Structure 1
Amino acid sequence: MDGELGDFLRSRRARIRPEEVGLPSYGRRRVPGLRREEVAQLAGVSVDYYVRLEQGRGPAGPARTKAGGVSDAVLDALARVLRLDAAEHEYLRAVARPHRRDGARAAGASRDTASRVRPGVQLLLDGMDRNPAYVVDHRMEVLAWNALADALLGFGGADDLSLPRRLFLDPASRDLYPDRDEVTAQMVAHLRLQAGHHPGDRATAELVAELSEASAEFRRLWADHLVKPCDHGVKLLRHPVAGLLSLPYETLTVPGDPDRTIVAYVPEPGSDAQERLALLGSWATTRTG
């Protein structure tokens, strides 16, 4: 994640028009958005200080915390000037002070994903027999699932349980997601947010490097520096048996393990999607029975 703070700041200031922050927009600009000098002025820091941040040289002077990172006051000011939303503000804090995050999450980052999940979590998934549900880690690798999630997404027979790899490297994903452009942008934004919280995670860095090399689509999206949590919404899926499904989903953090998340599809009671899932479950039971 070297240089991530500078890359992120440059990408965010490039999207802000001067008139949006009360500055005159006259004169020809070599680059879109705000200049470094303008960001520094609006945030109340020196130009040299801001340049140091973008160049990855680290802060110096009174705006430096005792731990050596950027102070909350400076980060809050930059978030205000660059009009960051809550997820982007959180990401800015993470990449500006990676050592603080490393210490807080070292235990979770070092766990072997082969251990999967606690038996109690698997029992919870199995008890959700009317809702496809599965568990992912911070790299979006699927660790456990219930029978209906297997019938819907084919986890049981998959060679690779990494959702990003499946999406960008498996041609079958183009049939599964009718609104694929939206899904890919959402997944990359979530992966970047998680990568910011795990700057020392070698497996995440290797995943990003692999996808960047293999997929031009991933490279383009990663270069956009979008960050957004993927914690709830609606997913459109096209299944060969159940047909087209519009499925709301919710996520829950596994108690005691903040880097593992339960993803559950929760169709409205009596909806067409709920009926189709019920039929899919019956079909899957017949096949395996």
Structure 2
Amino acid sequence: MAEKAPSSSSSSTTTSLASSATGQPINVIGIFREAIKTPARNGKLMLQIMLLVVSHCTLLALLHHLFATPLMEKVEDNYNKPTVHWEDLRALLGIEVPFLVGFWVVSMFGITITIYAAAMTYARRSVCLKDLLSCIQWKKPIITSLYVSFIPVVYAILVIGLIKSINLITREDAGQAWRGATAVMAALLYIYLTSVSTLGLVVSVMDDECYGAKALEKAVKLSSGRKLQGFFLMLILELLSIPIYILFYVASTDDDDEIGAVTLFGFGFLATVLFCLVNMLSYVVFAVFYSECKKNSGEGIEMGIGPGYSLVPTKLQEKAEA
């Protein structure tokens, strides 16, 4: 498929994208460098996306604090009492489920528009927020995210089962060493699986009619020969996220009486903003990684803005056509 609808900026996009492609793939540092530069190329769009996501996450966090926190404290106070207040537990569950769904919807919205905006901007394609929202096929990343959500659950069950098996077949002194080695290997493998699933989400946003298991298979195929690079990209991003997770933990577990409600809200707001920024950076990084994998594999990058979409050829394709 060469082109479904011509675009006025197609030729300039092709030229700039092809000129940015080099014979050698860029390394991990190069991908991070490009990911940091990419938002600056369309600062207005990225700022709009950031404000949209941060404002919605902050609003949900504030509403959760107002409605769910008092009930959580009540349940905790009654935890050690002999009688269980099932009404409070049901009420808490009834509040938590809608908030979890709300956070998931906001997260998917932010992930999807960040990926598309980053990939378009990296390809030197100018786009506004209105056009961006109108062209995204929301079904694909939603279905893929459901597939991705099963990966950590299944993986955790397998790892726990493996550790339990080690406890049964080894002595206590040897079992401790085996458990430690298994935990390290499981953590490293999980980082790799996370890199594949993240790339799969990018594929589901950018590739036509590619979602779910097919998107994950395409991610494995695209990253062939660059799996170690994807692993280190995700490892660095996870290390950057650890302090933010700690801040979230402090904000969510400390009592208002100890640090004050205003200070607690400030911690929560700061953690929310930092979490959104790191999350955006993660998907910008993997949008750049996706673009580089596509260019090195010789595949076209689908640009879907306006009345139709075109495939922006890579340098390898241009050489083949010549």
Greater relative contact order structure (CA < 8 Å, 6+ sep): 2
Normalised by the shorter chain, which TM-score bucket?
A: under 0.3
Provide the TM-score with structure 2 as the length reference. 0.25
Greater helix share, structure number: 2
Higher Rg of the two aligned structures: 2
Give the TM-score, by structure 1 length: 0.27
